[in-house]
Each structure stands twice: as C-alpha cells, then as structure tokens.
Amino acid sequence: MKRFLVYAMLLAGGLLGACQGGGEAPVASEELAPGVIKLSAGSIDPFTPYAVLGGQPLTEAMERLPEAELPFDIDDILIEVNGRGCQVTVPLADGEQLYGFGMQYGTFGHRGTRKRPVVNDNPLNDLGYSHAPQPFYVSSKGYGILVNTARYTTFLCGSNTKISQNARATEGNREKIADDPSQLYDNRAGGNQVFIDIPGAKGVEVFVITGPEVAGVVKRYNLLSGGGCLPPLWGLGFKYRVKGDATRDSVYRFARYFRDNRIPCDVLGLEPGWQTATYSCSYVWSDERFPGHRAMLDSLRREGYKINLWEHAYVHPSSPIRQEMEPYAGDFLVWNGLVPDFLLPEARRVFGDYHQGLIDEGISGFKLDECDNSNIAFGSATWCFPDLAKFPSGIDGEQMHQLFGSLYVNTVDDLYRRMNLRAYQDYRSSGLFMSARSAVLYSDTYDHRQYIQALCNSAFGGLLWCPEVREARSAADFFHRLHTVLLSPQAMVNAWYLQYAPWLQFDRGKNERGEFLPEAEEYESYARKLIDLRMQLLPYLYYAFYVYRTEGLPPFRPLLMDYPADERLRDLSDQYLIGDGLMAAPLYGDGDTRRVYFPEGVWYDFNTNERYEGGREYEITVRFDQLPLFVRQGTLLPLAEPVQYVDAETVFRLHCRAYGTDEASCRLFEDDGTTYDFEQGKFNIVTLRASGGQVSLERTGGYDGRRYEVTGCEFID
C-alpha cells in the first residue's frame, strides 16, 4: 500500500498525489482524515453526502487508532469516468467477506450478491433497498470502501465474473441437467473484484477507510462522521407510542396506567391524530382531539413524561407554513403536501422556526415518518416525490431521496442543539455520516429475525435501529420481540394501532375491542419486570454510548467486531454485543430455547448465573420474564435500582455483579443527562472497583452533580 505521509487539510482538499486509475480520468488521492484516503476522479457532484451531511471529524481520536495496511495496493482501485457515468473496481481476495451497506435486513455477509443501497421503505428481495442505505461496505480484511455519492449506486459484490478474470473459464457445468429453476439460477459465478456502478455521475469520490480489523474501520468511519451520538439519559428509558387516533383523555389514561402500575415510562409518543391534518401534515394541534393541549403537556411533564410528536415533512395546504414554504419546495407534491428543500437555509428556517414553537411548548422530540421513499418496491405505491423531481437547490429527486431523511432529522436536531438540549428522535430514513445525530431508525416491516440482523448490520454504518413490537401471534412471539426491543438502542413499544398495551392483549382485533387475555395480569407483571431490567441497565448503556461518542465503537454490534479471528462469527447475525461485557441472543421462534454461540473465554447467564465455555454452542432457555442476556467473564456489571423515569434529580443506586473474578472494574459516564455541556468538560468518569468482596466508587471530571451511588456487589463464580 502507498502510504500518505502528510495529513491533508480537511477543508482545503489539496491533492497529495495523482495517479492513473486505469480508466479515462486521472485519479487524485488525499488523506481526508487519519487513515481515510479519498480518491477522486472527474467532476464531483455538488450534493455528495459528505459535502452535505459531513460533520467535524474527531481527528484526535482517529490518530489514536493503530495504523493499518490495506490488503492490496491502493492503485488497484480503478475508477473510470465515461458516458455511462462512473464505475469503480475494487480487488476482492479469496475468503474475504463484505458487510454493511446500511441498515440491511436480508443478508449479513454480502459477498456473492448484488446490492443496490437505495432508500426505500421495503427491503425488497434483499436488493439492498432500505430505510437507511449506505454505499459503504466494510471488509473482513479490515478496510472499508465508501462511495461518496447520493446517486443510486449498485455494488456487484463478487457476484459477477469479468472475461479478463477468466481463470475458471475452462470449467463449466457439463454434466448436470438442472430440473428446477432454483438450481438453474443459483449464482455459480465468482469474482475477485467488486464492481461499482454509479450511472449518470461525471465524477466520483471514493473514501478508503483503513482499520485495523472491522472494528477499526467502523470506529474510523464514525469518528470521521463526528463520533457517535450521546442520547439524553431519559432517552435510554422506556418509550410508549399511543394509538394514532388517541385523544387527550386516552393519553391521560396511558399516563396514569404506567404510573399506577409502576411500569417505568419516560416518553409518550403521539401519532398523527394530534394534528388537524395529516397525510400531508398541518403541524397544528387538533383542538377537537386535544383541547387545551398546553395544559395537557404541562400536566404530563409534571408526571415525569417527555412528549414526542409524530409528523412527516410534507406540508399540508392548511398548514401555517404552506405559503412561506412554497418557494423552497420541490416541484412535486406528496399527498398534496409541499416537499421542503432542506438543502436551502430558507426551507430549514421556515420549517425550524415553526417547530421551535412546538418545542417551546414542551415537546422533547419528533418521530419523523415517511422521509424514506416507496417508489421502487411496488408499481402502485408512488406516494413519494419521483426521482425526476427538481428542487430549487438544483438537486434532483433521486439524490434528494438518498439525503432527505438525514436532512430532515438534522433540521429538527439542530433546533435542540441550539437550545443546548440533546434530543432522541425516531426517524425512518438515514444514510451516510449520521452517527453523531441522536436519532433511532424504525420500520413497519415486521420480521423478528430480520430485526435482529438489522441491528447487527446497522452497526457497520453508525446507525441506531429500534426493532418494533406491537401485535404478536403468540405470547412467545410477543415477549421475544419485547426482549429484543428492550435490548436495542431505544426501548420503545410502537403501538400506533393498538388501543391498550400489547401485553394485555397482543391480538390486534381483540385489543381494539378491549378483550384482554386471561393471562393479562401475569403478562403485565412480566412486562413490568422486563422494563425494570432495561432501567437497571441504564448506567451501563449510557457509558457504552459515551464510548460510541468518543471512540466510535457502536454500543450494539455484531460479535465479529470484537472477535475478528473467530471464523464462526463471520455469518453470525442473530446475537450481538452490548457495550463491553454483555451479549444478547434474542429468541425469535415460538419455543422457549435457542442455540447460542459463545465466543472465546467464559460467559455467564444473566438470569441463572450458569457458566458457559467459549468456542461452543449451547441450548439456552429464556423465560418470558427474563432477558436473553449473557455476561463476559471479568465484567463488573452495575445494575441500577429501577426508577419510573429519569429526570434532572435522578440518582441511580447501583448494585454490582462481578462475574468470575474477584477483581474487576467498570466505568460510568456522569453528566446532567440532557445538555451538550459535557463537550465543555462538564462530565465525570466514575470508576467502580470490586475487590476483596467490596466495591468502591471514584470519580474524576468537571461535573458537580452526582448521578451514581453504589450499594454493594455480588461476586458470581
């Protein structure tokens, strides 16, 4: 590999070298940030994801990462610019596997497939379509390839063979006569190159992100994006979204329900019905369904609730901002709504000024729905603006689709930032360079196994993913889904079409009619216990996010990131790590057991303290009222006494567990929980040390408050 000795100025974009890239255009290379080389050729589009969304790279943290070599010469990456657009060719070694492409459901290792990471609300047949697509893959060889384009891009991940690579051309299928289409169309081609197709582009930038290892690439990518996000502390609690047609009184009913039954809840989410018009949106409170909404918001706030409002970006004819938005909107309507051109400061201002009013009334965040696209999965579903749409900024619909969700989230997130408040929003579309934004993806697609895999896949690209739970086909299905949700970045029940909490009745029709399960009381106690468990993990999770913020390591991630040498983990996408000491292995069948693979070392069952040897699979049983959690030997796990909600005064009383060790320590992050003051040093690092049967607490840092007390430690063999 060619080494780059000088770290180029980030914004100057000076060329460090120029080499021929094998195609028509001269390829320039530059070290964009430590360990990130930018190759560019041709005339670059003005609206690249990095130009539009890129934040401030955390270059110091990047410099602290070990240097890594590419497994090939960087000159072997070929870029061609021609009449079709740009094509990029990247070497691929035998046995190499590729991960990423954003929040993908269908595959984990993508080698042998064609991936088209294009924004869409339906992950159609594993084509690469996703709410959060990324033209970015991470190789098992410890490097990443990111195509910095908002154009629809196709990756042939070793799925096709070029004639010049015709090593196997003398082989062939001479004997076998297939008698089934599935036999015929098995992909029998192989290839030792990745081919990337960017039609219509007159030039392209390729970011080559070095490791070492997969985890190093992911950290570098997140740090390049400005680091991971740090949600408000309350954002890690429990969120419940009420039914779409809820009224003030039904919201009050839910608010009382949680407190009366001592089920923790930090956030209530309101769905479309809060507005006078939806699909498209007026953003105006409905006096009919929510008379005196300000009083309601005050009352809920006093009970410890944060309120989140559903909306989408399409501005209804009756909206107060309709007229002002007209000059800054795209030329196509969505549900008769204007589509703001969020690339324009004017559109952000009009949208933001109005939303500031909602926030000032006490709204803690928004659920930003349908900022993805539905044009490409079904011929009859065409609710979004088309690819040929034009926006006043000059971008077309295609490229706007790839950026729209991110621009929308940033517009709203920036309002909170200006108020020095951290939000934790729900959104349905994301893409590149969004790790620093405090928002979690969701989706209506409802396959539990795919949810778990999406959680793993999201980790490669700085995305946070919240699986959903609403209705279920059985108690097992319900509780298994709830387990996964509670072990995700956001513990949310998105019950937007259920009248009552789903643990009382998980059949949708019966729920609507108020016909509760015979086991409703028992199941409610399970739900309480499970949500309590989530609340017990809050301090642990908060620190994992601090590591994400500062080092770029995803708080939720597939096992291969921590154990790159373990070949068995290369395809494992139904288990994941949480922070440094925990592993989740959700059940997703109807039974009460599953096979769980343990990587090297020794592991403990969080529920039973049973001990498992690494490098093996075990059949594990998990009850409905237990979380499918396992603890790494040597971990000091701080568990908080559950609180009903988090507020400024909350102090967590911690009881620790030390697993398989007499001496262990862990760290916690302590701050006000809600502002960005920690960026100015107003935070503490709290260290807990267990030793000789005792546990001690130390803190260093510039935050005056106290969030943690330690009450004791249990030592588990």
Considering only residues 114-133, where is the footprint of its own copies by CB under 8 A?
A: 114-116, 124-128
Closest CA to 547 of 586, 581, 575: 581
- Tell which one of 94, 181, 565, 692 touches its own copies (CB under 8 A): 181
Residue 216's closest CA among 543, 549, 552? Answer: 552
**What's the closest the beta carbon of residue 388 comes to its own copies, in angstroms?**
4
Query: Helix, strand or coil for residue 157?
Result: strand
Under the criterion CB under 8 A, does residue 672 sit at the interface with its own copies? no
In the complex, the smallest distance separating the C-beta of residue 208 from its own copies, rounded to whole angstroms, is: 20
CB 529 within 8 Å of CB 537: no
Find the farthest-apart pair of alpha carbons in the chain and give their distance in angstroms, rounded: 78
The residue within the footprint of its own copies, chosen from 22, 54, 91, 244 (CB under 8 A), is 244
Report the residue number, 58 or 198, with the smaller CB distance to its own copies.
Answer: 198
Nearest residue (CB) to its own copies, 506 versus 624: 506
Binding positions for its own copies, 56-85, rule CB under 8 A: 84-85
Q: Print the binding letters for residues 183-222 with its own copies: x by CB under 8 A, - otherwise.
A: -xx-xxx-----x-x-xx----------------------
Handedness of CA 112, 118, 122, 124 (dihedral sign): negative
Nearer to its own copies (CB atom), residue 375 or residue 411: 375
Q: Which stretch binds its own copies (CB under 8 A): 131-139, 166-174, 684-692, 699-707?
A: 166-174
Residues between 676 and 695 with contacts to its own copies, criterion CB under 8 A: none
- C-alpha distances in Å from residue 104, one per residue of 119, 156, 405, 643: 11, 16, 16, 34
Which lies closer to its own copies via its Cβ, residue 336 or residue 420? Answer: 336
Indicate the residue among 162 and 706 with the shorter CB distance to its own copies: 162
Which range of residues in 54-62, 109-117, 582-590, 687-695 is near its own copies by CB under 8 A? Answer: 109-117
Distance CA 485, CA 119 (A): 23
| Rounded Cα gap, residues 310 and 658, in angstroms | 42
Within positions 256 to 295, which residues make up the interface with its own copies, using CB under 8 A? 271-273, 276-280, 282
For residues 182 and 22, is the Cβ–Cβ distance under 8 A?
no
The nearest distance, CB 320 to its own copies, in angstroms, is 14
Half-sphere exposure of 209 (CA within 13 A, CB side): 28
| Cα–Cα distance, 555 to 549 (Å, whole number) | 10
Q: What are phi and psi of 685, to 5 degrees?
A: -105, 120
Cβ closest to its own copies, residue 243 vs residue 355: 243
Give me the least distance between CB of 85 and its own copies, in Å please.
Answer: 7
Q: Judged by CB, which is closer to its own copies: 323, or 593?
A: 323
Q: How many CB atoms lie within 10 A of CB 663?
A: 11
Lookup result for tokens 């199941």: 523
**Among 469, 478, 412, 413, CA closest to 446:** 469
Q: Are 637 and 659 in contact (CB under 8 A)?
A: yes
One of 16, 71, 160, 510 touching its own copies (CB under 8 A): 160
For residue 566, what are its two tokens? 């373990």
CB of 370 to its own copies, least distance (A): 8
Site residues for its own copies, 492-521, by CB under 8 A, read 496-497
Question: Considering Cα of 112, then 128, then 202, then 45, what sign does the dihedral take?
Answer: negative
Distances (CA, A) of 473 to 396, 406, 454, 514: 43, 34, 21, 17
Three-state DSSP class for residue 594:
strand
Count the residues of the shown chain that bind its own copies, applying the rule CB under 8 A.
89
Which residue in 656, 651, 681, 679 sits closest to 667, CA to CA? 656
The site string for its own copies over 297-316 (x = CB under 8 A, - otherwise) reads -------------------x
Give the whole-angstrom CA distance, residue 652 versus residue 538: 9
Nearer to its own copies, 118 or 561 (CB): 118
As given in the structure block, the two tokens for residue 561 are: 């990131």
- Count of CA atoms in the C-beta half-sphere (13 A) of 349: 6
- 470 or 594: whose CB is closer to its own copies? 470
One character per residue 601-640, x = contact with its own copies (rule: CB under 8 A) = ----------------------------------------
- 179, 619, 649, 704: which one binds its own copies (CB under 8 A): 179
Q: Which is nearer to its own copies, 326 or 698 (CB)?
A: 326
- Decide whether 225 or 375 has the Cβ nearer to its own copies: 375
Q: 128 or 489: whose CB is closer to its own copies?
A: 128
Nearer to its own copies, 181 or 518 (CB): 181
Least separation in angstroms between residue 395's CB and its own copies is: 10
| Residue 453 CA: distances (Å) to CA of 81, 448, 499, 586 | 36, 9, 29, 11
Interacting residue with its own copies among 134, 159, 210, 373 (CB under 8 A) = 159
The two structure tokens encoding residue 707: 């969030």
Q: How far is the CB of 584 from its own copies (least distance, A)?
A: 27
Question: Which of 164, 302, 619, 649 forms a contact with its own copies (CB under 8 A)?
Answer: 164
Q: How far is the CB of 330 from its own copies (least distance, A)?
A: 7
Distance in angstroms between the alpha carbons of the first and the last residue of the chain: 48
Smaller CB separation from its own copies, 386 or 705? 386
Closest CA relative to residue 132, chosen from 109, 103, 107: 103
- Least separation in angstroms between residue 496's CB and its own copies is 8
Q: Which residues of 555-570 are buried (b: 16+ CB within 10 A; e: fewer)?
A: bbbbbbbbbbebeebb
Please state the closest distance from residue 509 (CB atom) to its own copies, in A. Answer: 12
191: helix, strand or coil: coil
Which range, of 1-9, 14-22, 333-341, 400-408, touches its own copies by CB under 8 A? 333-341
Question: How many CB atoms lie under 10 A from the CB of residue 496?
Answer: 22
Q: How, if at all, do strands 238-241 and 491-494 pair? A: parallel
Say how many residues make up the chain. Answer: 717
Pick the closer one to its own copies by CB: 393 or 607: 393
Nearer to its own copies, 442 or 563 (CB): 442
Give the residue, chosen from 156, 455, 491, 656, that forms a contact with its own copies under the rule CB under 8 A.
156
Q: How far apart are CA 370 and CA 384, in angstroms?
A: 8
Q: Binders of its own copies among 334-363, rule CB under 8 A?
A: 334-336, 338
Among 12, 94, 180, 260, binds its own copies (CB under 8 A): 180
> The tokens of 218 are what?
């992911």
- How far apart are CB 109 and its own copies at their closest, in Å? 12
Residue 669's beta-bridge partner residues? 685
Rounded to a whole number of angstroms, the minimum distance from the CB of residue 115 to its own copies is: 6
Q: Which 410-469 positions form the footprint of its own copies (CB under 8 A)?
A: 444
Phi-psi domain of 427 (left: phi exceeds 0; alpha: psi -120 through 50; beta: other) = beta
Q: x-or-dash pattern for its own copies, window 363-392, by CB under 8 A?
A: -----------xxxxxxxxxx-xxxx----
- Exactly one of 21, 49, 112, 642 binds its own copies (CB under 8 A); that residue is 112
The least CB distance from residue 121 to its own copies, in Å, is 8
Question: Which CB atom, from 238 or from 328, has the smaller least distance to its own copies?
Answer: 328
Q: Which of 29, 161, 225, 453 binds its own copies (CB under 8 A)?
A: 161
Question: β-pairing, 154-157 with 143-147?
Answer: unpaired
Strand partners, 612: 603
309: β partners: 270, 366
With CB under 8 A as the contact rule, the residue among 333, 344, 475, 602 that binds its own copies is 333
Q: Given the complex with its own copies, which of 379 and 692 has the nearer CB atom? A: 379
